[in-house]
Homo-oligomer: A and B are copies of this chain.
Amino acid sequence: MNEQTKTKFNEIRKVIDEHLDKYTQVKYPENIYKAIRYSLLAGGKRLRPVMAVEAALLFGAKQEEIIPAACAIEMLHCQSLIHDDLPCMDNDDFRRGKPSNHKVFGEATATLAGDALLSFAPKIIIEKTPKSISSDIIILLLNEFFTAAGTEGIVSGQIVDIESEKKKISKETLEFLYEYKTAKLFKLALRTGAITAGVNSDLLQNLTLFAQYYGYAFQIYDDILDVTADIDIIGKTPGKDAKNEKSTYVSMYGIEAAKKQTLFLCNKAYDILKQEHINSEILEGIVSDIIAGICKC
């Protein structure tokens, strides 16, 4: 994305960071708050909450109306990373360039920090969303949240991911993984923003489709980086997929096909924006970042 868009993105990101900090002030018992804050305030890109804020603003909601739900989505993302990194799951020692949560706080506290975030997040939506957003909308947002979080979302993505290790998987299973492990949270982000702004038409369906194309492109690009980049760039241990014998688009079809597919998906995402006359520097910018990344690989 260009400098102007980056500045706009970072302004929203700063507000998200400030609120994540404010929402999780340390109380007794201190260790659980410290563990939550360690991972939550570790300087992620805040892609998902920024997307939620952008969608809300695009369709007429005020920033303060979406900030709590946007922060809740980042909390859910953080919860899934903490639990995914556990030794019994992906067993990853690094995340966002720092030792993973369980390496610092131990497995028990890391497990509980994830559990805590799954309750923290909906409470933030309930308690911090301004009264200008109706109870019916709040319930819709919570329902979207738990659809993305549970068996209809990332939990099922993670379980199929674990079951697929060291196995040859079908194209359908690979697509299931991309959908449930990755795209669901991007869908949640855009839908949360749009629903907060009162969008409930075909537009919502098409935003969901944008998130799907973007999510698949994001994940294939992530798989490419796992093969080509080093730890300084991706902030987590590279070569993990090969080590865990995980099937990815890259391992199944090769790097060149993966790059081509990513670009194809990015163009499909652009098409949706054009079709719906959505004029969003940020949504265009996050797609262009993937394209730029692919061209550098």
A111: contacting residue among B29, B86, B136, B160, CB under 8 A: B86
CB-based nearest B residue for A115: B155
Copy count, this protein chain: 2
Residues of B within 8 A of A115 (CB): 79, 83, 114-115, 118, 149-150, 155
Q: Most B CB atoms within 10 A — which of A31, A134, A159?
A: A159
Given contacts A88-B111, A135-B139, contact A150 B120 (CB under 8 A): yes
Q: What mask results when residues 230 to 271 of chain A are scored 1 for a CB within 8 Å of chain B, else 0?
A: 000000000000000000000000000000000000000000
CB-based nearest B residue for A123: B146
Q: Is A38 an interface residue (CB 8 A)?
A: no
Contact A163 B88 (CB under 8 A): no
Q: Is A116 an interface residue (CB 8 A)?
A: yes
Assembly CA distance A146 to B153 (angstroms):
20
A86 to chain B, nearest CB (A): 7
Contact A112 B159 (CB under 8 A): yes
Contact A33 B126 (CB under 8 A): no
Chain A: interface secondary structure?
A: helix
Residues of B within 8 A of A146 (CB): 119-120, 122-123, 126
Contact A88 B116 (CB under 8 A): no
Residues of B within 8 A of A162 (CB): 108-109
Contact A32 B159 (CB under 8 A): yes
Q: Is A138 an interface residue (CB 8 A)?
A: yes
List A140-167 residues whose CB lies under 8 Å from chain B: 142-143, 146-147, 149-151, 153, 155-156, 158-160, 162-163
- Pick 8 A–B contacts, CB within 8 A, sort by A: A31-B163, A32-B156, A88-B111, A89-B108, A118-B149, A119-B147, A123-B143, A126-B139
A residues with a Cβ closer than 8 A to B are 27-29, 31-33, 36, 79, 83, 86, 88-89, 106-109, 111-112, 114-116, 118-120, 122-123, 126-127, 134-136, 138-139, 142-143, 146-147, 149-151, 153, 155-156, 158-160, 162-163
